[in-house]
Every structure is written in C-alpha cells, then in structure tokens.
Amino acid sequence: MLIVGENDVPIVDKTQFIVKDMHDEYDIKWVKKIFDTKPCLENGKPIFIIIGSKGRIEINTTDMIKLEKYAKLLTQPKGRGRVSADSSRILIKEKDGKETVLGVVFHHRVKHFVPIHKKEKIN
C-alpha cells in the first residue's frame, strides 16, 4: 500500500507474517479389526508394520499404545502453509505373506500467523 508521508515522500506499507503459535494434531482411523485377519505370529505376538514418510519398521507387540506412538514418530509434515499434513499406515503381516492395512495415522501441523507492518521510504 502506497502512503504519502512528510514532505510528500512516498512510503510503502509492507506486511510480513511471522509464526505466532504452532501445534500438532494427530488423528487415528482404524480401518479393520485384528480379528478379521489371520496374523503371522512370532513369539505368540502378531507382527505389525508401520510405513511413514520417515521409513518403515516392523514391530512384534500386542501393545497398541506403543504401536500408535511409533506410527506418530514416523510422520513428518512438510510445508510452509498454515496447515501441513502427513500420514503413516499401520499394517499387519498375515500368514499367507500379505500385509493388510489396519489403520492410518494422520498428523497435521497447524501454524498461526501474526502480521507485522513495516513502513519504508521509496527512493
């Protein structure tokens, strides 16, 4: 925006946005139940596979909280916008060698911006 200042000197009002606050939101959607599959067991526990943007891991556990924690760690939202998102998939390894999707973890990084106004003289 062009403003006329003292002595008829033109001044430009520049607006710049800075990040005021940033927080992460996680959402877990379970697609299937474990009882609908025929899991491959190792040491009496099913083998879960988590695939995210940071990589892929296999976990031999029955602790679902631990499984969700690792799925959250494998997400990494990228972007400069107000909301950036990423997801990771939780799969189970079955006896016939298939990998069936059990759930998806969505990770949203939300940023809140505040405008800063600068006034500069035009030469």
Q: Quick one: average pLDDT of 103-117?
A: 91
pLDDT at 49: 95
pLDDT bracket for residue 34 (50, 70, 90): confident
The pLDDT tens digits of the residues spanning 39-90 come to 989 999 999 999 999 999 999 999 999 999 999 999 999 988 889 999 999 9
pLDDT at 5: 57
Q: For residue 113, which of 83, 77, 92, 69 has the smallest C-alpha distance? A: 83
pLDDT at 6: 62
State how far the Cα of 40 lies from the Cα of 30, in Å rounded to an integer: 19
Structural domain boundaries of the chain? 22-111
CB 50, CB 67: distance < 8 Å: yes
